[in-house]
């Protein structure tokens, strides 16, 4: 058996490339979110709250997510997840645009970031 047989399929290579790009982009986005929150608050506890906002939904839905994924078609679910992440990214972008965020207080921007990370 050839361990590299899967790499001969164009679709699988495309999947790997898109997956790498998305994970890389999400990692950069997480760093930018932390940078933005720290520049707003100068408080390390706010960075911990970001982690808490990520962990609470992940842990609370972990058992149900496996059952849900087994029941649904994977391709449509992947498209919906990417669309959801894109909408969240757009919301984070809107909160960070200086001309749009000047009318908001730093607390409302911070709470908006927390809500979108949740």
Domain limits of the chain? 5-117
Q: So what's the pLDDT on residue 4?
A: 86
Helix-helix angle 74-96:106-117, to 10 degrees: 170
Other CB atoms within 10 A of residue 57 CB: 12
Q: For 58-102, what is each residue's pLDDT tens digit?
A: 899 888 888 888 888 888 888 888 899 999 999 999 988 887 777
Give the sign of the dihedral formed by CA 55, CA 56, CA 58, CA 62. positive
Q: So what's the pLDDT on residue 62?
A: 87
Q: How far apart are the first and last CA of the chain?
A: 44
Angstrom distance (rounded) from CA 116 to CA 95: 10
| 52 pLDDT tier (thresholds 50, 70, 90) | very high
pTM of the predicted model as reported, rounded to 2 decimal places: 0.79
For residues 77 and 69, the answer to whether their CB atoms sit within 8 Å is: yes
How many Cα atoms are found within 13 Å in the side-chain-facing hemisphere of 74? 2
């Amino acid at each position: 058996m050839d361990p590299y047989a899967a790499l001969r399929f164009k679709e699988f290579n495309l999947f790997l490339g898109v997956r790498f790009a998305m994970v890389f982009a999400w990692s950069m986005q997480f760093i930018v979110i932390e940078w933005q929150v720290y520049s707003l608050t100068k408080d390390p506890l706010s960075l911990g709250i970001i982690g808490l906002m990520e962990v609470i939904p992940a842990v609370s839905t972990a058992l149900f997510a496996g059952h849900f994924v087994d029941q649904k078609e994977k391709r449509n679910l992947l498209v919906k997840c990417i669309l959801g992440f894109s909408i969240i990214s757009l919301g984070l972008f809107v909160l960070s645009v200086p001309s749009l965020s000047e009318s908001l207080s730093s607390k409302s921007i911070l709470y908006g970031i927390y809500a979108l990370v949740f």
